[in-house]
Structure 1
Amino acid sequence: MQTSHAQPIVQPPISIPTPLSSQDAWARTVRPLGTYAIQGIAVMNDALVALDSIRGYLLRVDPATDNATVINPCQVDDFVGATGLSIWQQSIWFAREENVYVCSLDDLTPQLFITMPYEVDGVAVWESTVYVASQKEGYISIFERQSRRLITRLPLPGVGIPNLAVRGEELWVCDRLEQTVYCLDRATGAQQLSVLTPFEFPTGLTFYTHPEQKRECLYISYAGEEPYIRDNPNNLEEPLELTFRDRTFIHPLYIQHYPNDRYTLSNGYLIEMSYAEELLPLEEIELNHLEWRIALPTETHRQKILRVEAIGLPFTEEVQDGQRVAVFHFHTLRAHERQIFGWKALLEVRGIKYALTPDDVDALPPLPTDFQTRYLVDDDYLAMDTPVIQQAAKEAIGTETNLLRKILKIRNYVYDRLSYSLTPHIDTPDIVWERGVGSCGEYVGVLLALARLNGIACRTVGRYKCPAKAEQHHVPLEPDYNHVWIEFYVPGYGWLPMESNPDDVIERGPYPTRFFMGLPWYHAEIGKGIPFETITTQDDGVDVSIGELAINHVRFTILGELPPLSAASQ
């Protein structure tokens, strides 16, 4: 490990972005009153139209005020359970079960357009063409509107429930499970970009131009459930109950595409993160010349460090393998001493999705020599010399030689055989493999071992996730657990992220790839490939761990949503 000399902290002048105001008409979250599950959105004149599949409402919505008017007061039964809303000229299109319907704005009586062999999830119309998406079928079927003739079919880019929108020559798809929006060439289906949504369960999408700002906005609708604590006055002994309620809303999706660098950024947030240690030893111990190192947040494509400052005690800063580390110096740590010390960082964080394909990595330069000795070896109790892990490494990739396909096959192979569960401590990959259950850290150990045995350089990344409560601003949020994932290296390009276990959501697959070469906004990247926290002392014979000396305190505060990058640079 390469370590530079410790240097005092010098804060450069920074320009802190102003978070978006909730009153900005083009930036606000739209919450139509009386809605339960919006399963499609479209545009009609200067208004949004939302489809509530629970009540069967077609709602004309003002995105600046949330005002909603039911436009089908006498036909709601026809729209209960419907999805895939699309409006073209004077006609409304939607799907229900295996059927696609069309009705006029004047009549609103649905007329059957076509019946599909499988349940339909999304519908979009552009001029003489009708696009019909079905998760069960796995395709987008394209029909000629007048003759109802099937023209062709395009494969769906994700594995979840899709919805569709068309803009010019682009076909846009949102996927509920993938938490992703895709832009496709509507003639060929070629993927032009993909981008993570800031919230779970996207259910619809449309492009809307605000009449005053003349700014085009891509709106995404979301529908799901959220837990909350209900005060039940009828239960006198335990009145507080955990229950669930419907949660649905419409929010703008910001996209910043970097085609030359092969990645796309989405919505971001200004976050203050604090990490502090409270000295509270299990046994009284005195240590001399103690150095306590805590990794600092990392500058990446999706994460910008605006400011870092000390908590409690000052620190110096050093660089280990390109990673910033805070160093706290204790000349003597006395037996009864109590301290709180750490750092606080102001971060810009955004969602990111990389866009490399297997064809892009068919002819790669060789792995750098120093990477072979640092990222292909067993340097963290990975059990790479055990027969069970070596056999798993062979079975995972079979005869595959393409780097991207290899790492994805390894991930899916691990997902097939492991189930997620919190564990009291981290076991080695051979024990985890035999047990069949693992925590995020144990998933990481298995993934590292199998990837490295197959010649793929990879490293551990973490360390915490901000609670994904994007609308709770200026409220201290504490994560329940720490979290780790991995990065794998593509020679000639660089490091790419891959989550440890969050995509392991379907028994035996198919698994989403939302966090394969992608990270959501709420991940805090700290200490890539180096230990997050270490202590060293000059006292001989003293064996003490950080957990025996201190209790950590982690806090996130979301200060607001960041403006789109294009707007911020103007």
Structure 2
Amino acid sequence: MIPNSDLFASSPKYSSVSTTIRPIAAAEIHGITFRGELLLAIDSRNGYLLQIDPITHNTEILNTEHWENFIGTTGIAITGDTLWFTSGRSIYRCSLSSGDFAAEVFTRLDYAAVGLAVWDSTIYVSCQKTGDILVLNGETGEQITRLYAPGIGNENLTIRGEELWVTDSLEQSVYCLDRATGQIIFSVLTPFESPTGLTFLRNSQTGEDTLYVAYVNYEPYIRDNPNADPNHELLYRSRTFIHPLYFHYDPENHYALSNGYLVEMSYVEELEPLDQIELTNLEWRIALPAETHRQKVRKVEPIGLPFTEEVENGQKVAVFKFDKLTSQNRCVFGWKALLEVSSIKYRLTPRDCENIPDLPPEYSDRYLIDNDNLAMDTDIIKRAAVEAAERETNLLRKVYSIRNYVYDRLSYGIKPHIDTPDIALRRGVGSCGEYVGVLLALFRLNGIACRTVGRYKCPPSPLTRNQPLEPDYNHVWLEFYIPSIGWLPMESNPDDIIDGGPYPTRFFMGLAWYHAEMAKDTPFERLISNGIPLNKQQVSIGSLAINHVRFTILEELDPAKRS
């Protein structure tokens, strides 16, 4: 139950009008489309063509006797009475009104087709093997042209007016393209992994469109097996569902927001010193959540002890004061914040970064130096900085090239401590903090201003509401600076998922909704005794207290309606 506090009060205007659709008996939903106000979805594993009421979620199998013909189908589209679908290398069509679903081959392709969209007499079909979206004549099947596919995974398609919308399973993204040229207008991150289909539903009363996206992914669960000893087994099961995707595009600032969430976050220290210690006139400083394009702070309250709020380099910090702290002290203290968080994706091209002004001198003095044990004077880091840039002069291309260079040479791994970039690069394995260290060093040696950002991620379970969620680890990423444009986010390691590439760009200039932004241009947590900052060698915060981090997802928000 949510406590009766104005901290938790939420505005009715944020209430979602649409809900998650979970069709009964569906195993893997891929292509989806609307026929009037009823949703049609293809279950690729079972071959079911499902008709779903999006209000009641009532589900019906339409092809009751011909489901075998639809196994493996990934894309569907409707024009009039005709159902179009892809399976393998072929595009098929059949009549919806006849009821027999006897399909005929419309055309065959050189490679397997994935997504499908039809507009008048033009057919759009995506092919992951070639990385293209083929544009075909709807009468003859001949190729008219081909468009460049925006992502690297399996892509499904839908059309809205002059826009071609694409969802990519690996990129965890939805792209809005100009239907004629294939140029990307903007893209948004989806709140769940592995999107597999998309379609729009127009409200007949308001004329507003709601974008629905289908997902297929796998979740771990504990199975109670009475025939095994021990009887509990860790297994994985597929889950598939359809969820509305809300978005807001801000062309002036080059970004788009998607599904937001109202989240309560708390950070609390439990004082329990391991060693004999006595500190006087102690300030325990903990960074507070920041205000950004994608993150709004509604309210912050203290937990356990009161704090005063100060600003360090533009970052708000909670300051807890102790006259005297010894090994016998026991207490909890920290803060809780009510946050509006959304996914954000910036859209910039190398052309936007031509003829940009020089980096301001104060940025050079602060963000191009080795101020965090970055080993920028070592031979291996100097050599890597030259190799990674590949003589590129465009700032955005240079950032992208360095990211790929680091991904080629590092693999993700957790360690109890963070090594310097030279050691991490030589070893070839790094945690998120070590990825960040290597990226920072190579960026700065190439004249790219950058900084570390963090500190925690909410467990990505947006359908789990009003339940405390605790992250397993802390997390850091980085921001790089483009003069005249500003700071842009970039994840450290989550896009390094394919050995040797190509690598997704979902978190290149993008962040998912579950990131909690704080600790920009200031340490997340530090101690000051009698006016003198204490370093780790003098006093380790980890030896003084146990931290408790908790997130509670309260409701979903539409970023287009945020305050």
TM-score when scaled to structure 2? 0.96
- Root mean square deviation of aligned Cα: 1.7
Are 2:64 and 1:97 aligned?
Answer: no
Contact conserved, 1:17 with 1:562, CA < 8 A, in 2? no
Contact conserved, 2:94 with 2:104, CA < 8 A, in 1? yes
- List gaps (5 residues or longer) in structure 2: 1-5
Are 2:8 and 1:17 aligned?
Answer: no
Counterpart for residue 146 of structure 2: 153
1:15 Cα offset (Å): 8.1
Are 2:182 and 1:186 aligned?
Answer: no
- Residue type matched to 1:292 in 2? W
Aligned with 2:43 (options 34, 47, 52): 52
Indicate the SS of the match to 2:253.
Answer: coil
Counterpart for residue 86 of structure 1: 77
Are 2:544 and 1:553 aligned?
Answer: no
1:118 Cα offset (Å): 1.3
Distance 2:7 2:226 in 1: 55
Q: 1:488-540, CA deviations, whole angstroms, 9 ceiling, x for partnerless residues?
A: 00000100000000000001000000000000100000111221000011399
Distance 2:312 2:272 in 1: 28
Q: Which 10-residue stretch deviates more, 238-247 or 122-131?
A: 238-247
Distance 2:476 2:65 in 1: 53
Q: 1:294-327, CA deviations, whole angstroms, 9 ceiling, x for partnerless residues?
A: 0000000000000001010111111111000001
Counterpart for residue 3 of structure 2: none
Are 2:161 and 1:168 aligned?
Answer: yes
Contact conserved, 2:274 with 2:327, CA < 8 A, in 1? no
How do residues 516-555 of structure 1 correspond to structure 2 at under 5 angstroms?
Answer: 516-538=508-530, 543-555=538-550
Q: 1:410-458, CA deviations, whole angstroms, 9 ceiling, x for partnerless residues?
A: 0000000000000110000000010000000000000000000000000
Counterpart for residue 5 of structure 1: none
Counterpart for residue 7 of structure 1: none
Counterpart for residue 194 of structure 2: 201
1:14 Cα offset (Å): 11
- Residue type matched to 1:475 in 2? Q
Are 2:71 and 1:76 aligned?
Answer: no
How do residues 65-144 of structure 1 correspond to structure 2 at under 5 angstroms?
Answer: 65-105=56-96, 106=98, 107-144=100-137
- Residue type matched to 1:560 in 2? E
- Residue type matched to 2:141 in 1? R
- Equivalenced residue count is 553
Distance 2:10 2:386 in 1: 50
1:216 Cα offset (Å): 2.0
Contact conserved, 1:288 with 1:539, CA < 8 A, in 2? no
1:28 Cα offset (Å): 0.6
Contact conserved, 1:293 with 1:533, CA < 8 A, in 2? yes
- Residue type matched to 1:476 in 2? P
Distance 2:462 2:49 in 1: 28
Contact conserved, 1:19 with 1:563, CA < 8 A, in 2? no
How do residues 425-444 of structure 1 correspond to structure 2 at under 5 angstroms?
Answer: 425-444=417-436
Distance 2:354 2:323 in 1: 54
Contact conserved, 2:272 with 2:327, CA < 8 A, in 1? no
Contact conserved, 1:287 with 1:539, CA < 8 A, in 2? no
Q: 1:151-209, CA deviations, whole angstroms, 9 ceiling, x for partnerless residues?
A: 00000011111000011111110000001101111111111110111111100000112
- Residue type matched to 2:53 in 1? D
- Residue type matched to 1:330 in 2? F
- List gaps (5 residues or longer) in structure 1: 1-11
Q: 1:460-502, CA deviations, whole angstroms, 9 ceiling, x for partnerless residues?
A: 0000000000010000000000000000000001000000000
Distance 2:352 2:300 in 1: 37
Indicate the SS of the match to 2:20.
Answer: coil
Distance 1:414 1:556 in 2: 32
- Residue type matched to 1:64 in 2? I
Contact conserved, 1:19 with 1:559, CA < 8 A, in 2? no
Counterpart for residue 9 of structure 1: none
Contact conserved, 1:464 with 1:524, CA < 8 A, in 2? yes
Give the percent of matched residue pairs that are identical in Structure 1 and Structure 2.
58
1:253 Cα offset (Å): 0.6
How do residues 271-286 of structure 1 correspond to structure 2 at under 5 angstroms?
Answer: 271-286=263-278
1:224 Cα offset (Å): 1.3
1:564 Cα offset (Å): 4.5
Indicate the SS of the match to 1:187.
Answer: coil
Contact conserved, 2:7 with 2:299, CA < 8 A, in 1? no
Counterpart for residue 29 of structure 2: 38
Contact conserved, 2:257 with 2:559, CA < 8 A, in 1? no
1:240 Cα offset (Å): 1.6
Counterpart for residue 367 of structure 1: 359
Contact conserved, 1:205 with 1:221, CA < 8 A, in 2? yes
- Residue type matched to 1:150 in 2? Q
Aligned with 1:404 (options 368, 393, 396): 396
Q: 1:192-245, CA deviations, whole angstroms, 9 ceiling, x for partnerless residues?
A: 11011111110000011245665421100001111111111222x322211111
Distance 2:256 2:454 in 1: 21
